[in-house]
């Protein structure tokens, strides 16, 4: 697939927003492929007026949607899943140029979207409450009811699944959704998903896609017609959203950054560990919240591990991801590339050794390995969001646990060892939303309760039953046959 072929495909979003149909926008934004700098599409750019109109339309449409039977709602998700499973390229062809995804990463991401849609068909039919005991002779029950309109704000890195992971369960639970994708990935993060839902028969008005920057995002957070927000992005933006939404007493789910540790115990198979470490740090150029950001390797095997990791880093092809020979593509933009390079440079100045990489050509950053990284160097303490593997040694497991838990983040940790049960015991002492034993840190499935702790997330989890809980609130209902009598 080439960019030219991608451009020949119909683009209903040309200069348009999605409000159930394609609506010409007052202004537009160019979508640029980071690998080439070429414009690949021009889409509508939303303003605050568009947001007001979207909230009005969504509020109206949601009432009818919530009143449908579960099987009527389930059909939409089944159809969307089948359409995408039959033709994954409808999304892959945008994901690759727009977000700089390698072909394999894009195909994997589309598989996650299909799985999410399948799971959401099931969410519609889950039990949605419980019968409660009562001290009175009455029916007492707690049932889950939709919020009404849910606002979704999503990032650029896995734009399709990170939008869908909020949009689909929110819809399945009976809400309408207003989605604000990152303006760098408005198609695979929103407009192409809307096209899929429209084809699958989602009634008009239930999903609105408003490509825009942080200003419209902030307006969505503040809008009085949107009681629930689902945000995936940086911890800095998450804090700003939390501060804005707090006084408004809204329900907010924040899925934020990470600085994920890979703990390599002295009994680990070093070849397999280096391969897991390379995958964890370099997949999608390290632009994943669960990217392995800290390699904690026992001193007895650190030299061998680092040499093997560096060898891999030197040989991974990096280039235009529309060429399937390149598993790694570009960093999303210059600002992010410069941030990555500044963290690498500062860490080397602080005493780390460059074992591989550390250089770039345009937006193509070479996979980088830093050895002997001081524990207070920025490459070790901060989220890099680039293809950088910082390696630090430890002597005792207690020391390793202390280093792991010293991070403000708590998204994903992995432990590599030949004694899996020992690692299972260690997991209980780790502050992290996920712990993977004998795998690397990047993993998610539609059926698990995904989410971070500490500065990596708060407010709600994703996945099957967890999603149903996140996108509904509880209503306690009591029913008795006669009016209760009172003393006055």
Return the active site residues.
Answer: 255, 289
Q: Are 456 and 258 in contact (CB under 8 A)?
A: yes
Nearer to ligand NAD, 360 or 409 (CB): 409
Site string for ligand NAD, 288-327 (x = CB under 6 A): -x--------------------------------------
| Torsion sign over Cα 35, 37, 41, 42 | positive
Where are the extended beta strands (E) located within 104-240? Answer: 129-132, 139-146, 149-153, 176-180, 207-209, 228-232
Nearer to ligand NAD, 119 or 182 (CB): 182
Q: CA dihedral in degrees (231, 235, 241, 242; nearest 10)?
A: 100
Residue 416 Cβ vs ligand NAD, minimum distance, rounded to whole Å: 22
CA distances for 242 relative to 26, 123, 180, 483, angstroms: 30, 27, 17, 43
Determine which residue in the list 151, 203, 257, 463 makes contact with ligand NAD, applying CB under 6 A: 257
Residues sharing a CB contact under 8 Å with residue 188, sequence separation 6 or more, in sequence order? 91, 94, 95, 98, 99, 159, 160
d(CA 450, CA 403): 23
d(CA 46, CA 33): 21
Which stretch of DSSP H or E encloses residue 436? strand 434-437
Nearer to ligand NAD, 306 or 412 (CB): 412
Regarding 443 and contact with ligand NAD (CB under 6 A), the answer is no
Residue from 212, 217, 102, 233 nearest 155 by CA: 233
Q: Are 347 and 353 in contact (CB under 8 A)?
A: no
d(CA 264, CA 423): 10
Determine which residue in the list 88, 213, 319, 374 makes contact with ligand NAD, applying CB under 6 A: 213
Q: What distance lies between CA 306 and its chain's CA centroid?
A: 29
| Stretch touching ligand NAD by CB under 6 A, among 33-41, 136-144, 228-236, 471-479 | 228-236
Determine which residue in the list 101, 242, 383, 455 makes contact with ligand NAD, applying CB under 6 A: 383
Q: Kindly state the number of chain residues that form the binding site for ligand NAD, as judged by CB under 6 A.
A: 30
Residue from 55, 165, 42 nearest 467 by CA: 165
Q: What distance lies between CA 154 and its chain's CA centroid?
A: 7
- Tokens 């689902």 -> residue: 230
Residue 233 Cβ vs ligand NAD, minimum distance, rounded to whole Å: 3
Determine which residue in the list 256, 273, 276, 318 makes contact with ligand NAD, applying CB under 6 A: 256
Regarding 357 and contact with ligand NAD (CB under 6 A), the answer is no
Strand partners, 475: 143
Nearer to ligand NAD, 205 or 211 (CB): 211
Q: CA dihedral in degrees (392, 395, 396, 402; nearest 10)?
A: -30
Regarding 452 and contact with ligand NAD (CB under 6 A), the answer is yes
Determine which residue in the list 41, 80, 121, 237 makes contact with ligand NAD, applying CB under 6 A: 237
Nearer to ligand NAD, 309 or 434 (CB): 434
3-class SS of residue 377: coil
Where does residue 303 fall: left (phi above 0), alpha (psi -120 to 50 degrees), or beta otherwise? alpha
Strand partners, 177: 150, 207
| Stretch touching ligand NAD by CB under 6 A, among 4-12, 93-101, 449-457, 470-478 | 449-457
| Stretch touching ligand NAD by CB under 6 A, among 43-51, 215-223, 314-322, 355-363 | 215-223
| Stretch touching ligand NAD by CB under 6 A, among 97-105, 140-148, 253-261, 388-396 | 253-261
Determine which residue in the list 241, 296, 442, 446 makes contact with ligand NAD, applying CB under 6 A: 241
Regarding 407 and contact with ligand NAD (CB under 6 A), the answer is no
* Interface with ligand NAD in residues 176-205 (CB under 6 A): 180, 182
Residue 200 Cβ vs ligand NAD, minimum distance, rounded to whole Å: 24
Residue 240 Cβ vs ligand NAD, minimum distance, rounded to whole Å: 4
Nearer to ligand NAD, 258 or 386 (CB): 258
| Stretch touching ligand NAD by CB under 6 A, among 78-86, 194-202, 313-321, 451-459 | 451-459
d(CA 95, CA 99): 6
* Interface with ligand NAD in residues 140-169 (CB under 6 A): 153-157, 162
Regarding 385 and contact with ligand NAD (CB under 6 A), the answer is yes
Residue 289 Cβ vs ligand NAD, minimum distance, rounded to whole Å: 3
Give the binding site for ligand NAD (CB under 6 A): 153-157, 162, 180, 182, 213-214, 217-218, 221, 232-234, 237, 240-241, 255-258, 289, 383, 385, 411, 452, 456-457
């Amino acid at each position: 697939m080439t960019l030219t072929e991608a451009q020949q495909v119909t683009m209903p979003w040309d200069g348009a927003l999605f409000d159930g149909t394609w609506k010409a926008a007052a202004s537009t934004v160019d979508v640029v492929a980071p690998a080439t700098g070429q414009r690949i599409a021009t889409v509508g750019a939303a303003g605050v007026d568009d947001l007001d109109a979207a909230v009005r339309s969504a509020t109206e449409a949601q009432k009818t949607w919530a009143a449908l039977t579960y099987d009527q709602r389930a059909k939409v998700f089944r159809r969307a899943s089948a359409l995408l499973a039959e033709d994954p390229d409808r999304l892959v062809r945008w994901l690759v140029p727009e977000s700089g995804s390698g072909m394999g990463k894009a195909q994997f991401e589309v598989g996650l979207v299909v799985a999410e849609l399948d799971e959401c068909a099931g969410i519609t039919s889950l039990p949605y409450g419980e019968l409660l005991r009562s001290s009175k002779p009455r029916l007492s029950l707690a049932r889950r009811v939709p919020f009404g309109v849910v606002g979704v704000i999503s990032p650029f890195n896995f734009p399709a699944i990170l939008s869908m992971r909020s949009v689909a369960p929110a819809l399945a639970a009976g809400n309408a959704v207003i989605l604000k994708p990152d303006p760098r990935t408005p198609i695979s993060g929103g407009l192409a998903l809307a096209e899929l839902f429209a084809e699958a028969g989602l009634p008009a008005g239930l999903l609105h896609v408003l490509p825009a920057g942080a200003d419209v995002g902030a307006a969505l957070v503040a809008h009085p017609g949107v009681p629930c927000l689902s945000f995936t992005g940086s911890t800095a933006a998450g804090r700003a959203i939390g501060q804005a939404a707090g006084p408004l007493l809204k329900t907010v789910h924040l899925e934020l950054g990470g600085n994920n540790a890979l703990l390599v115990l002295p009994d680990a198979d070093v070849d397999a560990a280096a391969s897991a470490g390379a995958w964890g740090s370099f997949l999608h150029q390290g632009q994943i919240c669960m990217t392995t950001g800290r390699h904690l390797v026992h001193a007895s095997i650190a030299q061998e591990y680092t040499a093997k990791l560096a060898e891999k880093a030197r040989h991974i092809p990096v280039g235009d991801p529309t060429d399937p020979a390149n598993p790694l593509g570009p960093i999303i933009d210059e600002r992010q590339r410069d941030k990555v390079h500044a963290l690498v440079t500062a860490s080397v100045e602080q005493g780390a050794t460059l074992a591989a990489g550390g250089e770039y050509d345009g937006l193509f950053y070479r996979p980088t390995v830093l050895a002997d990284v001081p524990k207070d160097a920025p490459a070790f303490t901060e989220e890099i969001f680039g293809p950088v593997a910082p390696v630090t040694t430890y002597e005792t497991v207690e020391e390793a646990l202390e280093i792991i838990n010293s991070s403000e983040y708590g998204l994903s940790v992995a432990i590599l060892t030949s004694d899996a049960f020992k690692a299972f015991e260690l997991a209980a002492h780790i502050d992290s939303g996920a712990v993977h034993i004998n795998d690397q840190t990047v993993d998610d499935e539609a059926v698990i309760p995904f989410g971070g702790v500490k500065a990596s997330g708060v407010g709600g989890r994703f996945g099957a039953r967890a999603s149903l809980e996140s996108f509904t609130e509880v209503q306690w209902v009591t029913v008795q046959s006669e009016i209760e009598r009172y003393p006055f």
